Structure 1
Amino acid sequence: MRYIASQIGRSIRIVALSLPLADARDVSQWLGCNANASFNFHPSVRPLPLSLHIQGFNISHAASRFAAMTKPIYNAVVRHAGSKPCAVFVPSRRWARLLAADLLALAAAQKRPGRFLHARPDLVQPFLKRLSDKVRNYVIPAQNRVPSY
């Protein structure tokens, strides 16, 4: 967007909504906003408290880093979130899908295939048609699966 603004010679107004950011000032500077044009709600005004946990990995090869991060991400989600909602940020939609499948596989390996399923299986059934067979088997264990016709 900044590149487009520089090419057309006009300012572009950006309105962004997100989770509270720890580095909102840095993000607003990167977007080219002055201090008066940006606002960030403090995490303490959220209806649900927000806690932030960051774990870094010093592996330069992206695929190797992703493979090394999967198990620690699973452990962090289980330890810090439990049954509460959490967000894990990854660089792309593809990585989000891969990570979701890996997290479901890790839960199944610990004999907890429904660990992340907080809905009745019959409510999830209509959405299963969109999932690949690999993911579908982790989401609903065979004994709880509603047959689809």
Structure 2
Amino acid sequence: MMLQAFQFLATFCAALFAGAALYINLVEHPARLGLDTRAAAMQWAPSYKRATWMQAPLALLSFLCGTGVWFMGAGAAWFVAAVLIGVVVPFTFIVIMPTNHKLLAPGRDLGSAETRTLLENWGRFHAVRTVLSLLATVLYMWLLMRT
């Protein structure tokens, strides 16, 4: 019963993360970039802060549950899926966080060309998180259907 609960949670959390990430890349961020740079940066900041509190726990819980399933003997593919979703956390800290800090820096000229470039780069970086989470979700779902 514990194994099935962990399998479900790993898959569910990865799917929620992937759905939110996909929405951000396909809908929210392109709409944001349709605004003038100042408005886009002003909209990005609260969106980023709110999304952090949703996405980080989902990625971590999916990783922990997927790893737990692997430890319970369900097979190495569960660990591979867990790593795919888990790697979004260090990727965020190493690759995306420097851009976040620049965008949130006090005194930043929100209407500048540099701010526009940072927002565009942020979207590309976030797409990596989207792809990783989608791959994890597909693998988790495939593994669930096999059991």
- TM-score by length of structure 2 reads 0.25
Indicate the structure (1 or 2) with the bigger Cα radius of gyration. Answer: 1
**TM-score of the superposed pair, with normalisation by structure 1:** 0.24
The structure that is helix-richer by fraction is 2
